[in-house]
Amino acid sequence: MAARLDAGGWQVSTDADGADVVLVNTCGFVEKAKQDSIETLLAAADTGAKVVAAGCMAERYGKELAESLPEAQAVLGFDDYTDIAARLDGVLAGERFDAHTPRDRRELLPLTPVARQAAKVVVPGHATVDEHTPAHLRKVLRRRLDNGPVASLKLASGCDRRCSFCAIPAFRGAFVSRDPQELLAEAEWLARSGVRELVLVSENSTSYGKDLGDPRALEKLLPQLAAVDGIVRVRASYLQPAETRPGLVEVIATTPGVAAYYDLSFQHSSEPVLRRMRRFGSTERFLELLATARKLAPEAGARSNFIVGFPGETREDVDELVRFLSEARLDAIGVFDYSDEDGTEAVGLDGKVHEDTIKRRFSRISDLADELCAQRAEDRLGSIVEVLVDSIADGEVEGRSEHQAPEVDGSTMLVAGDEGVDLAALRPGDFVRARVTATEGVDLVAVPVGMISAAPPAVAATAAS
């Protein structure tokens, strides 16, 4: 959207002060995220600018959102994205747009994955500027909104899984991969703009390539991305345990430049709960997967999310989850309390857990997660970690180690020591080795002991300013 707006003559910024139009990219996943989106839209209206709602919540609710939120001049769905600049031109001119009636976007694409690439359907984050030009030679349709050393790289959109608690496939659509050559071209473009770490994102990264006729496409792509000049680390996110093949585990653990980091969507570990969730696995199978990764890379990082209070969950199921968490040694754990989501199978399941019980279980698992993650951080005391410097403010140098993804995990604070690296000389984008000397919850404190790769001077100066 930012690239299309820029090409359409709009000046794009993350600062709403003085803006003519504020475009809010909403989230429609869980209740808290939806409420945050509403609050952001209302706050945008207070600026006096014209307000436009886009993103997943806008797509998911369409007319319903428009009718309940008169503060927004327009509610735009995914089909509006290709003409987003013209839509905002209209909003600025005082036009009113009729919001769309939501539909199941899975029905827009062929059921057979390999037939989807040829379909003429708007898929968020996918755009062929010129279909007659080879993917690696096409113009990169992207406009960065910051100049930091980390950027996401979208692998795919949509999901073919049918988890009973999740509404995402209905409004994001069926799974569609991006062309690997297009991804490599965008990675090179990002590297030229100063990006040092790529975070690969999608609804399900382990499905990448299945619609391209190559289920091992991610295993092949990771080393290629890591070899892009200027990129020092590539991180894969959103891995489905049931689809995480041994070959992918090995590539992530052993490829230079690829973070030995496993963002695995476990959701629970009790087999009965997982089956009701329409998912696969168990405590033993998940522990075996983690053990396989750590056999190849003993210091590998791992994170996951879990839902407590799912319909039918018993005390024994919660105890099983506690057993798994206690043995899994995860670096970061996200805990969510179950709530019914419109249009999902779980809404109609029996065995609903009482709200007070859900709150107690959420509190119990959250407290345990904090304790276990802090212990896991302490396990890294004395070890050498590779840290990408993210920011420097008021003399504090903050970055992330290999097991720390941006925004969702902890961070590493670099402090002065006697081991050869001048802390004052470090800049955002520098990649250093550091010795862990202390922990603060999930965060690490470390002394830099050697430079691995310095940020390009021009880029470092821009980021520091």
- Residues belonging to the binding site for [4Fe-4S] cluster are 159, 163, 166
Nearest to 27 by CA among 50, 51, 3, 61: 61
- What are residue 74's DSSP bridge partners? 52
Task: Output the six-digit token pair for 246.
Answer: 């041994």
Q: State in Å, rounded, how far the first CA of the chain is from the last one.
A: 26
Query: DSSP of 243-274, one letter per residue?
Result: G--HHHHHHHHHSTTB--EEEB--B---HHHH
Please tell me the distance from the alpha carbon of residue 21 to that of residue 282, in angstroms, as a whole number.
49
Quick count: other Cβ atoms within 10 Å of Cβ 407? 9
Give burial (CB, 10 Å; 0-12/13-18/19+) of 207: buried
**Residue appearing with tokens 């808290």:** 32
Residues 6+ apart with CB under 8 A from 63: 75, 98, 99, 100, 101, 102
**Residue appearing with tokens 């991305």:** 225
Please tell me the distance from the alpha carbon of residue 315 to that of residue 198, in angstroms, as a whole number.
41
Confirm if 109 and 174 have CB atoms less than 8 A apart. Answer: yes
- Establish how many alpha carbons lie within 13 A of residue 27's alpha carbon, considering only the half-sphere containing its beta carbon: 11
Fill in the DSSP letter of residue 78.
Answer: G
Please tell me the distance from the alpha carbon of residue 257 to that of residue 10, in angstroms, as a whole number.
37
Cite the annotated binding site by residue number.
159, 163, 166
Please tell me the distance from the alpha carbon of residue 318 to that of residue 2, in angstroms, as a whole number.
44
Question: Which pairing describes strands 412-414 and 396-400: parallel, antiparallel, or unpaired?
Answer: antiparallel
Confirm if 450 and 421 have CB atoms less than 8 A apart. Answer: yes
